[in-house]
Every structure is written in structure tokens, then in C-alpha cells.
Structure 1
């Protein structure tokens, strides 16, 4: 069972990484285009090669139209795509100053409570994203420049949020079982042998 959820989490992380890589390339192309467009409009270039400058501007040398809209939607998806792997590997930041001094049973209780709270928060986020997506779809709201339906971005983020909620719920069940049985079912390097 753990291998299935780990595979799902890794798949989402790879998908998020691919989207993030595409967004980085898009941003670089847009910045390069914006810079070249500024150079082509400069008095120097217009003075020595006005025909070439106008031709390059006319074929579309410039920033990518709506780049910030695509980055906004894509980064939201990427964040939700990385959450399942972070959840299943206990990759969230933690402060263990007090927890390290506690006995094993107290640490297991804290881990269980933390996982249950994470699962509940992830479920709440997915639920509210679904509400937001349905609202945006109902109103027919579109982005300003590209005019793509805003609910598409919500749907992509919702996909990642639902997977994160599923993985978070699985990990909550694992940690509750560990607490109740006293056995460690999923070793992730955070356990203590006190």
C-alpha cells in the first residue's frame, strides 16, 4: 500500500517539476523577448537598422503575452503537486527542540496529531478549491490577457490538492495505527529510539 501512495506522490512531484520547468523557460523567453524588444525600439538600433528592427518587432519579438497569468496558474498547480511527496516523506519543516526531549510515546502522539491535522487541512483546502472552481466556472470568469477560463487553473490545483488530501489521509491513518499499536509502519528518518 505504501509503495502505491509513494508512487502517486512521486508522479505528482515529477508532474509539478515538469510544469515548473516549463514556467521557468516561459519566463526566460518572455524576459529575453522583452529585453530584445526594448533594444529594437532603442534610438541606436532604429538609427542603424530601422527596417530590420521593424521586421523583428512585427514578427513578434517581445514578451510572451499573458506570461504572468500562465505563471500564476502553473505555480499554484506545482505547489499542490509537490505536497503529496512532502507529506509522505515527512519533508515538512519541523522544530524538534522540545520533541527530542520527550519520550517515544509522546513523540508518536505528536506525530499522529500533526498528521491528522495536516490531513484535515488538506481536505479543507481541496474542498474550498472545489467551491472556488465551481464559483469561477459559474460566473464564467476569464483571465485578463489570455481570456482563458479561470476555473481551469482552479481545476489543475484541485487535482493536486485532492491527491495531497488522499496521501495526507493515508499518512494520518498510518500514524494513528502506529500510535495505537506501538509499531512503526513507515520509517522516514524522523523516528526516535528513545
Structure 2
């Protein structure tokens, strides 16, 4: 697990980080242009700024989920589970890993449906006119990678429980 899937999750999150840097750059440029305009220097913001940022955020947001799952960085409610016997805690962990994998696959399925419908409808952003369906693809990939990591973690936990190692 710490091989190919781990590297994919790391590179995928790096891609999400690069998108966030682009969002920050575009936002900074636009904010600077509005400030200059407010000071009377006759500069304007970037046309279609809202379209570009909305589409980039929608792509970048899910790109961090696989790495978060890989590192077990998700929120864990430990308060009550801490007092449970070890076997029950491990069983709950496997249950939630399986549920996470199933939920990510479910969401990915519906995102594929949304991608296909958006493509068929030729939906475009309102100002720039960019087709919106390509911005679904990073989300689909993110959800598939997230599900794969959670499923592998679940399998590893089960193998450790039965003493077969992972």
C-alpha cells in the first residue's frame, strides 16, 4: 500500500496544491487590480475571475482526500471508543474504513453521472464559457483513489487482525 497508491495520493495532493496556488495568484491579482482601481489608477479585475476560481476550487477540493485517508488524517471520535476493548475498536475501525470506501465509490459514481450529464448538456461557465465537465474529472479520480486507499487499509487491518500481515 505504501507503494503505488501512496505515491499517487502524494502526487495528486501536490496537484491540488498547485491548483490552490493558481487560485491564490488569480485572487491576489484580482484583489490588487481592484485596489488600484479604487485608488483611481484605472485598472480592472480579471474578466471571468469568479468562473475560473469556482471551477478550480471544485477540482482542487477533493484532491486532498486520498492523502488525508492515507495518513489517517480524518476526524476520529475517540472519546467513547477509547474505553472499548481492543478487538471491538479494531472492528469498528475496519467497519468505518469499509464504509468510507463504499461512500467514496458511491459519490464517485454520482460524480461520473454528473460529468456525463454536464457534458451532454454542454454546460459552460457563465462568463468565460469554459465547458464545466472537465472539472469533474479530478473529483472522480480523487474519489476513486480515496476509495482504493480506504479499501486497502481495511484489508491490511483485517490481515493484521488474523495474523497474516500486510
Whether TM-score is above 0.5 comes out as yes
The TM-score with structure 1 as length reference comes to: 0.79
Which one has the largest radius of gyration?
1
Q: Does 1:147 align with 2:129?
A: yes
Listed as ranges, the matches of 1:87-98 within 5 Å are: 87-98=69-80
Rounded Cα–Cα distance in structure 1 between residues aligned with 2:58 and 2:151? 21
1:94-173 to structure 2, matched below 5 A, reads 94-173=76-155
Which residue in 2 is equivalent to 1:30? 30
Whether contact under 8 Å (1:35, 1:62) holds in the other structure is no
Q: CA deviation at 1:184?
A: 6.8
Distance in 1, Cα, partners of 2:55 & 2:156: 33
Which secondary structure does the structure 1 equivalent of 2:90 belong to?
A: helix
Cα pair distance change 1:172/1:67, threshold 3 Å: farther
Residue 15 of structure 1 corresponds to which residue in structure 2? 15
Deviations along 1:46-102, whole A, 9 cap, x unmatched?
xxxxxxx5xxx4xxx321222222222222222211011111111001120111111
Helix, strand or coil at the partner of 1:2: coil
Does residue 39 (structure 1) correspond to residue 39 (structure 2)? The answer is: yes
The whole-number CA distance in structure 2 between the counterparts of 1:8 and 1:101 is: 36
Secondary structure at 1:95's aligned position in 2? coil
Q: TM-score, normalised by structure 2?
A: 0.91
Q: CA RMSD in A?
A: 1.7
**Structure 1 residues without counterparts, runs of 5 or longer:** 41-52, 186-194
What is the CA–CA distance in structure 1 between the aligned matches of 2:156 and 2:59, rounded to whole Å? 26
